Amino acid sequence: MSEQSRIVTGVGRGLRLRCPQCGEGHLFSGFLKVKGCEACGEDNTNYPSDDAPPYLTLFLIGHLIVPFMFWMDKAWAPAMWVMFAIWLPLIGGLSLAMLPFMKGATIGLAWANGVTRETARQ
């Protein structure tokens, strides 16, 4: 498998919340708790994700949602409480919804590049 296709495979399986090694087993045992694969035995807890998933989540949410916030403010100039009532739950909910997928993709990327907690420390 070429390095590029390994990255696509790892990130793709991570985005589907599956084990990057086999694509069958589940990556998480809870909301964000990484576990070993029940299908192939790969220890997925060995792959670090650290701050990357929340960073990616905020980066994507910011670029997807904030333009609509500005557009709504310009177009209709709603009261501030209306803006907060609409956008805070939407941004909070989308962030929580996207976070596991970003964490899966990050772990898949670490798997593809052979980055483990040991190699990341050096």
Q: Least distance from C-beta 120 to Zn ion, angstroms? A: 21
Q: Which of residues 5-64 bind Zn ion (CB under 5 A)?
A: 19, 21-22, 25, 37, 39-40, 42
Encoded amino acid at 13, one letter: R
Query: Could you give the C-alpha distances from 31 to 42, 49, 63, 73, 81, in angstroms and in order?
Result: 19, 15, 24, 34, 31
Q: Specify the residue, 24 or 50, whose C-beta has the smaller distance to Zn ion.
A: 24
Q: Specify the residue, 57 or 111, whose C-beta has the smaller distance to Zn ion.
A: 111
By CB under 5 A, name the binding residues for Zn ion.
19, 21-22, 25, 37, 39-40, 42
